[in-house]
Structure 1
Amino acid sequence: MRRRTLAASLGAAAAAAAAFPVYNSLAADQPRQQQAYTWRNVVVNGGGFVPGIVFNDTEAGLIYARTDIGGLYRWQEDSQTWKPLTDWIGADHYGYTGIASVATDPVEPNRVYAAVGTYTNDWDPNNGAILYSDDYGDTWGVAELPFKLGGNMPGRGMGERLAVDPTDNKTLYLGAPNGNGLQRSTDYGRTWSKVESFPNPGNFVVTPGDPYNGDNQGVLWAEFDPTGGKIFVGVADPDDPLYVSADGGSTWQPVAGAAEAIGRAGENRTIPKQAAADHASGHLFIATGNDPGPFTSAPSSGRGGEVQRLDIGTGEWTDVTPNYNPADRTPAFGGITVDRQRPGTIMVATLNNWQPDEILYRSTDSGQTWGTSWDKVAKPDGSQGRTDRFDLDHSASPWLTFGNAGDGWNLEVKHGWMIEALAIDPHDSDRIMWGTGATIWGTESLTQWDAQGDLVGEDGGALPIERFTVAVRAQGLEECSFQDVAALGGTLLSAVGDLGGFVHTDLTKAVMMIRKPNWTTGTSVDFAELNPDVLVGTGNVTSEHGHVAVSTDRGATWQPTARVSGVPGDGHGGIVAVTADGSAILWTPGDSEVTPVRSTDLGQTWTAIAGLPAGAKIRADRANAGTVYAYAAGAFYRSTDGGASFSGTGASGLPGGNGVDFRAVFGREGHLWLAGGDGAGGMWRSQDGGSTWTKVAGVDQAQVVGFGKAADGQDYPALYASAMIGGTQGIYRSDDAGGTWTRINDDAHQWAFTNTRVTGDPEVYGRVYIATNGRGLIYGDIG
């Protein structure tokens, strides 16, 4: 995909609030689904990057977490869970689930705002927007912007770009990327205009011209000094990285000494990534870096980042960078936070200090001295060990081990990575939360750190301390991108972006993670319909294993397969299928010119399949073990020898796009349904193994189709589809083999992107599973 040049600017004119509806699942005039459904998540707990956690300064227990592709959440103190706030976003504005920033009003806590937009390139067809709510995010209005925001772009974990002025809470500021400068609203986020007096739109670009790393990071964050009436704004420009206004934003001046303290001279120029103001002490702390993150791709020479302290009253700068790293490296820094109840207390996290782990630093004297969350120790046998201030309780997400057993100073479960969300509760010094690339960690015992003292004695050995517990705090926050789902009786098999895949035998617990092979992303799963102990999956790998995994005990254990010659290890997961009796596995490598291959020995050897082009989609008949089907570029193929060879069926009139998907019906030999994908139009069915096809009447567009237990009085499985019918996009069910369709979701439950996989449950009528791109795996039951 090519980068789209973004030259638009708001100028002096205000951008009017868009005429979007206020979304509320309880509103009387809200469009309803035709049959009431209850929606839940198949539990993973976390699974994606949480770049921001924001506590409200006024109302205790009011916390928001933003994700890069999965929307916005609000903490529910009574249940200790997160509530999703953006499920109303539909496919036409799917980019609104990329939350670039969130701001909670310190004066009227009921007001909350989100800056949304997933990509600044042409991957997202829409511009960004500001969502505004007057009721804690239960309902929203939308103010469209004439430029894009990047909730899933580099720099998404830097300081909050969106901020409410605590001295005049109808005024908000937005730091924009790509030359769009500092934006301001004076009517509670309803309209926005560029602050013409702000002199610097930023100039820091990681890789000029690159469609993903080519952003000018722009204006990064705003911090307020209510006692002095000053507004500080960080800019991605090493020569002028910090500005201040003392007249309510009318005029702006560079802060003296900021270029030397933050920007530095030499090759490793840095920018002010995050800031935290300690109002009581009169200090502004700034974490700097030579890369916007969340990955650190800048040159490794020199320091990755620093922590600088500005005395707001005197203008004096002090370098308070922690000078010790147990891993003996100079880290980049991510999140930074202060304790509002204890002036002088500050914490900062390393960013991608990969081996052996991230480090949290804590200071109680405004950065003069620091303690580390863990330290290295010498073990009696001379090997390297470590000692920690806290234990990590991952029982809510057992998969956080990622299959690791732990060794030496590499713990079974890590403090995290990509730690850019780091926040001490302004109402409770004992509570902290931090986001990682996979979860949220938290504790309500933080101040025990200060009583522990040093971790290591003069002899290099660990000193005795009383550890506290840090536990998963991601319950209810589901951010996985599900790529494929297979529903067996009592077992749910899935392929998942970034995490590989899961085997769920309990929809309320995520225990079994597929780790052999170690998929960076799972892409496809299947099972043998007549021998359901046999499961298969495929995904992107970089290890020595092949791309396909096999289980012969219903997912309890997995074995990797051999590599296929000519398929590189990076990526190429593709599509996998297994014949109904489990005797043969068929695999189409993804993004490859390699012909699909077949194995009859559980993937230990592979042979090329005759008669199929590279890239063909393969599905097994669910009733006949000898029959397998394939589709490629508008042509349909069939095999009657268990997938060893294929020939074209001669079917005509099928769509030819890449978005086409087809599935075989369980218990019905030769019954196939094909979804044409976006733009191709419609749905087709075949009852003779793909020789002839009939277009299904009334379906405008269909992205995916699946099957579940038949309704009472019906002998054909229920059909489920993510489709557009009667001009309305939604999730639909048909109980009469496609004769009529019922929309089963409503406008309050759209989950933005549902065109990867939808299927029913073979044992529970009405239950549907919906794979989303960032809101996890949704399932619905009637009632």
Structure 2
Amino acid sequence: MTEDSKRFEAAARLRRRTVLTSATAAIMGGAIGVGPGPAQAAPPETYWFRNVEIGGGGFVPGIVFNEGQRDIVYARTDIGGAYRWSQWRARWEPMLDFVGPDQWGHTGVAALAADPVETSRVYAAVGTYTNFWDPRNGAILRSQDFGRTWETAELPFKLGGNMPGRGIGERLAVDPNRNRILYLAAPSGNGLWRSADYGASWAEVDSFPNPGDYVPEPDADPNSPGAQRIGLLWVVFDQSSGRRGETSRDIYVGVGDKENSVYRSTDAGATWERLPGQPTGFLPHRAVFDHVGGYLYMATTDGAGPNDGAAGDVWRFESASGEWTNVSPVPSSSEENAWGYSGLTIDRQNPGTLMVTTQVQWWPDCNIFRTTDGGATWTRAWDWGDGLNRSFRYTMDITEVPWLDWGLDPEPPETRPKLGWWMESMAIDPFDSDRMMYGTGATIYGSTDLTAWDSDDQITIRPMIRGLEETAVVELMSPPEGAPLFSGLGDLGGFRHERIDAIPAAMYPAPQMSPVTTLDYAELAPALILRVGRGDTYLAISTDGGENWTAGTAPEGSTGPGRNGAGAAISATGDRILFAPDGAPVGYSTDAGATWTASTGIPEGAHVESDRVDPATFYGWAQGEVYVSTDGGASFTRTATGLPTDNGDIKAVPGHEGELWICGGGSASGIWRSVDRGATFNRLDAAQDAFGIGFGKAAPGSDTPTVFTIATIDGTWGVFRSDDAGATWIRVNDDDHQYGSPSVIAGDPRVFGRYYLGTNGRGVIVADRL
């Protein structure tokens, strides 16, 4: 499963949850069961929020330095929001954590723009999908305080922060002479848009002649991401064509059209022309303008990216003469060229110095090229030597994020860590020729000794990612002893987090899985841990608290790891495993997954869970019905109906035999509790809907574990905690900490009040009482 498809699948789940959030309140009157009486919502409690340190893990398609003030740097991610670099803390700070489930698409950032005049101003073009998965239109967010607070201008069309072509850009630009004017290059045939009031209002530029016709996959299903037009690509200004306070006259726009890809206005956007003599056959992914020399540079490739691109060129356009020159490090006509170019940047201190990346070059690695003479000659980050040997102008130091080697030590010419992949964003600091950053599919790398390259010395490349987290979280588990947290992630597989404030040394060892979809431990023997996911095997067992793992098998006919968070369960003593894989009946194993016997009485694809006290009891939940086994998963009996049907969770309570909670959507949406092994359930009336549930350490003086849920309670969406089995609820997040639409939650059994929140793109959040 590709990174794209995993994220698209996650977004589809979130879309359904968002629809349920707004729709379920109207149908709660028909819910069955006798509730314990109205729950009371207590005042919110003050919490401290921070990330569990992972160190990146996702695609960073945009890095923007403010050209008007030193050390103002922004980064955008495709599903995890946008960040501002803190120079004194040497880490990134998130700017869009306030986005809630009603606007979850705003966590996909399609473009960023930093104002070089009033340097506290920053803009973000937000919207995750241009197809049906995102029900809302895009928007332009504008801030006057470096992204600490924002105002919103809604757009009449969608934006695609996580669509094909998301590494192209930047689609949003501020006029460097008259900074109240901005342009937006829109996707999907929506043309060019302009604002004349600092992004507060927008209007289409009717005179712009070409909205772009390129479709990455023209024969695909019309609703698929690849069937959408990528539209317009970027906007750049020739700053020398105007004066401060006056509109820049010369504006260039890239277009998703392989025959007509660059247009220019020389009258401040009133009229436009296709640049004559321009190259054809490729898409211009990135462009920069040399204001001193009067040159437009473009990096082109033959696909939308970020996962395709097999050929391309770098071009220079001289604005004074109209002359085009192919300045490719390796031209597309060469037999060596098997890549497209992207990641283009210019050194503003020395405008003849540029760098460009190969966008996709899987073997043996991507490359970076550098010129100090405007593209006449280039040097490479690495080059071929004798045979399969390579020579390098860099060394890589991943001490800070050691898992970036993926636990691999390949044979030459491959190396670990890789220089990168999906390298579509590269930026040289406009105030410091030695500092450079570039984004990859897994992190941000950078250098602070860049000019050593020109003396044939090796530069040092390090991760510059601390604080920026961009993993899609599928599952979380916090056992009562050993490592405090285990994560199941969409792209990296996941981690055993020995410390939540330190980046882990490595991902889960073999057998590797991506994503990891279910984690469970034996409640009475917590060193026994079950890990389920997609890989060469679907299941693995650890007997030493997750340090080492042994691969198991899966029931015959299995095609996948089953339900996220509830595809498998291990008994309280660890002697039995229940597995509900995709494509095969539910089965149980008494030999750590070596062999399987089919269970009876439970439907295929059920959510499964183990009783946390009685090792013979397992539970199943499917289509609003509960099934119970008291013989170790061999046979099940249906015990209850009329419960939530989808998009939820099933959890048994640690230390309380026979206590089971279910939350979810459908006609019986909300939270339901059983204290008799699932024979009967009571609905907690305060919850209109809920999509995750977890248990943590009991409050002082109590033996009732705290309950955490992501829910709408008494009409308010949020993260809630109950210390009294759902009789009362306290909101334990706030409007500044909503994280899009999180769906995974786990309490910490060792720290009262602590919970872990899994997000779709912002990594894992840990929250503590203040």
Partners of 1:402 and 1:515 within 8 A in 2: no
Gaps of 5+ in 1: 4-31, 264-268, 453-465
What SS does the aligned partner of 1:213 have? helix
**SS of 2:478 mapped into structure 1:** strand
Q: Which moved more, 1:442-451 or 1:633-642?
A: 633-642
1:501 maps to: 494
Distance 1:270 1:93 in 2: 35
Distance 1:690 1:605, change over 3 A: same
Matched, 1:318 2:325: yes
* Aligned-partner residue type, residue 520 of structure 1: S
Give the Cα separation in 1 of the matches to 2:512 and 2:422. 20
CA distance in 2, matches of 1:218, 1:371: 33
Aligned-pair CA distance for 1:219? 1.0
User: Residue 697 of structure 1: CA displacement?
Assistant: 2.4
Contact in 2 for aligned 1:540/1:572 (Cα 8 Å) = no
- Partner AA of 1:306 in structure 2: D
In 2: Cα distance, 1:114 partner to 1:469 partner: 31
Work out whether residues 576 and 618 of structure 1, in 8 Å CA contact, stay in contact via their aligned partners in 2: yes
Please identify, of 248-257 and 516-525, the stretch whose mean Cα deviation from structure 2 is larger.
516-525
- Residue deviations 1:479-505 (CA, integer Å, cap 9, x gap): 111111110134211110111111001
Q: CA deviation at 1:645?
A: 2.2
Offset at residue 521 of structure 1 (A):
1.4
SS for the counterpart of 2:526 is coil
Give 1:15's aligned residue. none
* Match among 70, 79, 84 for residue 80 of structure 2: 70
Whether the 8 Å CA contact 2:525–2:572 is kept in 1: the answer is yes
Matched residue, 1:149:
159
Match of 2:14 in 1: none
Q: Specify whether residues 41 and 255 from structure 1 end up closer, same or farther in structure 2 by C-alpha distance, changes over 3 A only.
A: same
Match of 1:653 in 2: 642
Give the deviation of 1:676 after TM superposition: 2.0
Aligned to 2:396: 392
The answer to whether the 8 Å contact 1:322/1:369 transfers is yes
Query: 2:372 matched to which residue of 1?
Result: 364
- Matched residue type, 1:768: Y
Question: Where in structure 2 are the equivalents of 1:5-154 lying within 5 Å?
Answer: 34-154=44-164
Letter in 1 for 2:579: W
Change (3 A) 1:679 1:278: farther
Q: For the structure 1 residues 81 and 256, does the alpha-carbon distance in structure 2 shift closer, same or farther, using more than 3 Å as the test?
A: same
In structure 1, the residue matched to 2:757 is 770
Q: Which amino acid aligns with 1:561?
A: G
* Alignment match, 2:550: 559
**Equivalent-residue separation in structure 2 for 1:33 and 1:375 (angstroms):** 62
Task: Deviation per CA, 1:721-777: give whole Å up to 9, x if none.
Answer: 10101211001001111100000111011001112x212100100101111111110
Aligned to 2:267: 247
SS at match of 2:438: strand
CA distance in 2, matches of 1:514, 1:144: 42
The superposition leaves residues 563-617 of structure 1 with CA deviations (integer Å, 9 ceiling, x where unpaired) of 543234799977121111111222222xx33112222222222332222211101
Aligned to 1:270: 282
Name the structure 2 match of 1:779.
Answer: 766
User: Aligned partners of 2:580, 2:121: CA distance in 1, in Å?
Assistant: 50
Q: Residue deviations 1:529-585, cap 9 Å, x none?
A: 1111111111122xxx31112211111112222354323479997712111111122
Q: CA contact under 8 A between 2:301 and 2:340: conserved in structure 1? A: yes
- Structure 1 segment 173-188 matched on structure 2, within 5 A: 173-188=183-198
| Mapped partners of 1:177, 1:779: distance in 2 | 36
4+ long deviations beyond 4 Å: 324-329, 569-574
Matches within 5 A, 1:522-561: 522-541=516-535, 545-561=536-552
Match of 2:253 in 1: 233
Aligned to 1:23: none
Matching residue's letter, 1:688? D
Equivalent residues of 1:679, 1:701 under 8 A apart: no
8 A Cα contact 1:661 1:677, kept in partner: no
CA contact (8 A) 2:563 2:606 kept: no
Counterparts in 2 of 1:353 and 1:564: CA distance versus 1, 3 Å: farther
3-state DSSP of counterpart to 1:512: coil
Q: Distance in 2 between matches of 1:352 and 1:522?
A: 26
- Give the 3-state SS of the residue equivalent to 2:385 in structure 1: strand
| Among 197, 218, 225, the residue aligned to 2:231 | 218
Question: Deviation of residue 520 (structure 1)?
Answer: 2.6
Q: Which deviates more, 313-322 or 579-588?
A: 579-588
1:415-564 equivalent positions in 2, closer than 5 A? 415-452=419-456, 466-488=457-479, 489-491=481-483, 492-509=485-502, 510-541=504-535, 545-564=536-555
Aligned twin of 2:212: 202
Higher relative CO (CA 8 A, sep ≥ 6), structure 1 or 2? 2
The 1:256–1:95 alpha-carbon spacing in structure 2 relative to 1, beyond 3 Å, is same
CA contact (8 A) 2:647 2:691 kept: yes
Q: Secondary structure at the match of 1:522?
A: strand
Q: 1:414 to 1:725 in 2, by over 3 A?
A: same
Check conservation: 1:406, 1:413, Cα contact below 8 A: no
For 1:699, the aligned partner's letter is A
Find the aligned partners of 1:121 and 1:561 in 2 and give their Cα distance.
Answer: 39
Q: In the alignment, is the contact (CA less than 8 A) between 1:103 and 1:162 conserved in 2?
A: yes
Cα deviation digits, residues 145-192 of structure 1 (max 9, x gap): 110000000000001110001121000000011111000000000000
Inter-CA distance 64–680: structure 2 relative to 1 (3 Å threshold): farther
Partner of 2:604: 614
Q: 1:49-84 deviations in whole A, cap 9, x for unaligned?
A: 100000000110000000000001000000110000
Mapped partners of 1:760, 1:437: distance in 2: 31
2:621 counterpart residue number? 631
> Match of 2:711?
723
Provide the residue aligned with 1:337 in structure 2: 345
Q: Say which SS state the counterpart of residue 96 (structure 1) adopts.
A: helix
Residue 237 of structure 1 deviates from its aligned partner by: 1.1
Give yes or no for the alignment of 1:283 onto 2:287: no
Scaled by the length of structure 2, the TM-score of the pair is 0.90
Instruction: Give the Cα separation in 2 of the matches to 1:396 and 1:603.
Output: 36
Residue in structure 1 matched with residue 658 of structure 2 by the alignment = 670
Mapped to 1, the partners of 2:709 and 2:314 lie a distance apart of 52
Task: Summarize the Cα distance change of 1:708–1:571 in structure 2 as closer, same or farther, 3 Å threshold.
Answer: closer
CA contact (8 A) 1:327 1:355 kept: no
C-alpha displacement of 1:512? 3.5
Equivalent residue number for residue 736 of structure 1: 724
Pick from 563, 566, 578 the counterpart of residue 570 of structure 2.
Answer: 578
- Cα distance in 2 for partners of 1:393, 1:760 equals 35
The sequence identity of aligned pairs, in percent, is: 47
Deviation at 1:324, TM superposition (A): 8.1
515-524 vs 94-103, which moves further: 515-524
Look up the match of 1:18.
none
The amino acid across from 2:761 in the alignment is G
Q: CA RMSD in A?
A: 1.9
- Mapped to 1, the partners of 2:45 and 2:666 lie a distance apart of 25
Deviation at 1:679, TM superposition (A): 6.9
1:332 and 1:570 map into 2 onto residues whose CA distance is: 36
Kindly provide the amino acid, as one letter, of the partner of residue 102 in structure 1.
L
Distance 1:511 1:680 in 2: 44
Correspondence for 1:461 = none
Give 2:320's aligned amino acid. G
SS of alignment partner, residue 106 of structure 2: helix
The aligned amino acid for 1:623 is V
